[in-house]
Amino acid sequence: MVFDRLTAVRTLRPLALVSLLALAACSGEPQQGMQDMKVPVSVVQVQPQAAVIRTELPGRVQAIEDAEIRARVNGIVQSIDFEQGSQVKAGQLLFTIDPAPYRAARDQAAAQLKNAQASAQTARLLAQRYATLIKQHAVSQQEYDNAVAQARQAEAAIAAAQAALDAAQINLDYTRVTSPIDGTIGKAQVTVGALVSATSATSLATVHRLDQVYVDITQPVAQIAALRRQIADGIVKPDANGDAQAEVLLDGGGTYRHPGKLLFSGVAVDPGTGQVNLRALFPNPEQILLPGLYVRVRLVQGVDQQALVVPEQAIQRASDGNSTVVLIKDGKATFTPIQVGPHTDKGYIVYQGIQAGDQLMVEGFQKVRPGAPVQPIPWKGQAPGGQAGQGGAAQPPAAGGQGGAEQAGGQAAGDKAAGGQPAGAKPAEGQAAQGQAH
């Protein structure tokens, strides 16, 4: 009995050892395959290319002409003669202030002018009579001189009375408040019956000319200095069009349809902010840009003939806040910090961290870690010739919603599910492991 048990144990030990080795082989083969699997990712190859340098800066819209309508005489508002928010022409009547007291003052000044003219006529005739008598020695020289002086004083009185009449007429005209410019008028600041004052310059309304607008822009002086150094070093060539072009970026993500031009760049730096003021002029026929609106302005500042342009999708933000890209070196993913420059139509210009000919990952970041083996696949959004197509933006997904890397990843996953082996495993090894397991 004891002999039978010892015989059974000795017989089962080799069988158990063989089973354990088979299980180890079955469990170790997929793990080794997973470690050697290359993750498919979409990549682009960076090549030098000419790129227009554009800088996005904050700006504030200003009306090209902005007229504040204020009272220039004291009185009661009799009528409001415009439709609020409408278009008005220069010289169009806007408000009427009670003209009665100013009309009376005008009439009084006109009467004083006539009185002065009559007095001057008498003094002039007396001087002419004395001029004849002085030759006959009928009057003294003193009397003649007094008559001439009185005639001249009368002429001066006429001039003073005429000036008083003109002033009275001006005040009377001020009771009819008109628009000084063509433009769009806002709301009325007063109502009919309100007392307005010339002393305090009561605000009545505001007229804006909006067919063109200014956009006041601020730019850090460090950006201007860096651009000037690049131009001096020959890296960047100034814009060949002469007038610097400007674009307004709207809140909805689009671009304002009418381009503008930069009028001037300030020659002084604001000591409080360290920025320089610029001003651009934009057409505004639809009156989309309104005074006081905050906008982003994109300025064309030059052309970099040998720029390394990276698609926007390829730039990642590291935990420390710096920008990074994933380079493909020796078949592995290498996370590399970069120095990002201005935005262009095809992506961002990168000044440091990459070189011409480098392969950059554009899609598949969520599937790789530093040092992981990868399988580069040309990016579907890449145009022929190794350059990013359509401004560096990815093309719309293919049928089924899969990009290049996602399609390859899905295919690998399907192979694993169908054959019971990970993507990249050798068929012979997989069949052998399967046979041992059985």
List the single range of 58-67, 139-148, 245-254, 419-428 with lowest mean pLDDT: 419-428
269's tokens: 């730096």
Domain ranges in the chain?
37-51+307-421, 53-63+209-305, 72-98+175-201, 100-171
Whole-prediction pTM = 0.60
Residues in the chain: 438
Between CA 258 and CA 247 the distance in angstroms is 8
What secondary structure does DSSP assign to 135-167, as a single string?
A: HTT-S-HHHHHHHHHHHHHHHHHHHHHHHHHHH
Compute the Cα dihedral for 322, 302, 231, 308 and give only its sign.
Answer: positive
> What is the helix, strand, coil percentage profile of the chain, to 5?
35, 35, 30
DSSP structural state of residue 253: S
CATH fold, domain 72-98+175-201, is OB fold (Dihydrolipoamide Acetyltransferase, E2P) (2.40.50)
Residue 392 confidence (pLDDT) above 80: no
List, in sequence order, every residue forming a beta bridge with 308; answer none if it has no partner: 48
Q: Which superfamily is assigned to 100-171 in CATH? A: Helix hairpin bin (1.10.287.470)
> Treating both helix axes as pointing N-terminal to C-terminal, what angle do 2-36 and 427-437 enclose, rounded to 10 degrees?
160
Q: Which candidate, 217, 228, 244, 315, places its Cα nearest to that of 54?
A: 244
Q: Would you state the pLDDT for residue 190? A: 95
Integer-rounded Cα radius of gyration of the chain: 44
pLDDT (tens digit per residue) in 195-220: 999 999 999 999 999 999 999 999 88
Q: Which candidate, 61, 12, 27, 81, places its Cα nearest to that of 284?
A: 61
Q: Hey, do 53-63+209-305 and 72-98+175-201 end up sharing a CATH topology, with the first three levels equal?
A: no
Strands 316-317 and 323-329: what pairing? antiparallel
Contact 148, 124 (CB under 8 A): no
| One CATH from 1.20.120.1200, 2.40.30.170, 3.90.1150.10, 3.40.50.2300 for 53-63+209-305 | 2.40.30.170
Residue 239 confidence (pLDDT) above 80: no
Contact 229, 262 (CB under 8 A): no
Residue 425 confidence (pLDDT) above 80: no
pLDDT > 70 fraction of the chain, expressed in percent and rounded? 76
Burial annotation 401-427 (CB, 10 A radius, 16+ → b, else e): eebbbbbbbeebeeebeeeebbbbbee
Residue 295 confidence (pLDDT) above 70: yes
Torsion angles phi and psi, residue 306, rounded to 5 = -125, 50
CATH tag, 37-51+307-421: 2.40.420.20
Contact 219, 275 (CB under 8 A): yes
Cβ neighbours of residue 408 under 8 Å, at least 6 residues apart? 40, 375, 377
List, in sequence order, every residue forming a beta bridge with 209; answer none if it has no partner: 65
Please give the C-alpha separations between residue 120 and each of 71, 115, 126, 128, in angstroms, as whole numbers: 38, 9, 10, 12
* Residue 76, CA atoms < 13 Å, CB-side half-sphere: 6
Contact 388, 347 (CB under 8 A): yes
More confident residue, 206 or 316: 206
Q: Would you state the pLDDT for residue 122? A: 94
DSSP structural state of residue 285: T
Candidate ranges 30-39, 47-56, 185-194, 375-384; pick with highest mean pLDDT: 185-194
Residue 35 confidence (pLDDT) above 90: no
